[in-house]
Amino acid sequence: MNTTKTIPTAQIIAGRPLADRVAVVTGASSGIGAATAERFAELGAKVALVARRGARLDALEDRLRASGGVALALPTDITDREATLATAARIADELGTVDLLFANAGVQLISGISDLAVADWDAQIDLNIKGTMNTIQAFIYSLEAAAAAGGPSDLIITSSTAAVRYLEGFQVYSATKAYLTQLARLLRMELGRKKVRVSAIEPGMVNTELPDHVTDETASKLMADLIAEIHVLRSEDIAEAVAFVAAVPRHVNLTEIHILPTEQTI
């Protein structure tokens, strides 16, 4: 069983290796997105915070600015293509050329296929796949321009261990994440020639609010048991891995990182 004890800090990167970089984080209102935005700012990047929940973004913006960081909160529904393009234009005007995109926004809604939870299917496809594609559309030229100018340029996509594992009830969610992992692999073939690095981050069980969206009782119990029985990942653990991907020298591309809690076996 999981016992209460002090867990060491996730931070291993020092200094300001992201200084002068302009980063965009989607899904920045909570969890991995918020933790990564905070870490990017600590490491020197100017950070655009993108998510639907404006109040949470404003609070994060205030925290980052109070700590000396540069942050811009931009409430946006990335399933809306035109809204996403408008947000990208504002970021370009206020922060400059984006050279670090963390396409992180996503939702997990688990159910048996016979439940015909078609609204949940659509929500996952719309956000996890279409939202990511809208985000890429909005920033791809900026990433290419940054690389052409001689600096580092990163497209980092949050996938999941579910992309490569078989978990009952996860069929639609897993399929959306498999799409993202394969997308990252194929984008790297095209963008690597342009010196844009492409990476997929595939976390296992992370103690975020994502499992709270799960209504299927079996899946909810599975996740609750994992959290109770093992030391699951924290958002800060993933944030440090993402920051490391962006901080390595320009000629180094960490293409696919699968991160599991040490004790997670499923």
Task: Kindly list the structural domains of the chain, giving each domain's residue range(s) and its CATH number in brackets, ordered by start.
Answer: 22-259 (3.40.50.720)
pLDDT of residue 3: 45
Among candidate residues 141, 166, 173, 179, the one labeled active-site is: 173
pTM over 0.75: yes
Kindly report the average pLDDT of the chain as a whole number.
93
pLDDT of residue 1: 42
pLDDT of residue 217: 67
Looking at the DSSP bridge assignments, the partners of residue 232 are none
Looking at the DSSP bridge assignments, the partners of residue 100 are 23, 154
> Which band of pLDDT confidence, cut at 50, 70 and 90, is reported for residue 38?
very high
Structure-block tokens of residue 176 = 């959306």
pLDDT of residue 6: 61
181-206 pLDDT, tens digit per residue, is 999 999 999 999 999 999 999 999 99
> Which band of pLDDT confidence, cut at 50, 70 and 90, is reported for residue 212?
low
120-178 pLDDT, tens digit per residue, is 999 999 999 999 999 999 999 999 999 999 999 999 999 999 999 888 889 999 999 99
Cβ(205)–Cβ(226) below 8 Å: yes
CA distance 144 to 154: 9
Q: Which of 21, 27, 31, 23 is nearest to 208 (CA)?
A: 31
Q: Which of 157, 260, 265 is nearest to 205 (CA)?
A: 260
Q: How far is CA 238 from CA 29, 110, 203, 260, in A?
A: 15, 22, 7, 10
166 is catalytic: no
Sequence length of the chain is 266
H helix count then E strand count, the chain: 8, 7
Is the per-residue pLDDT at 49 higher than 60? yes
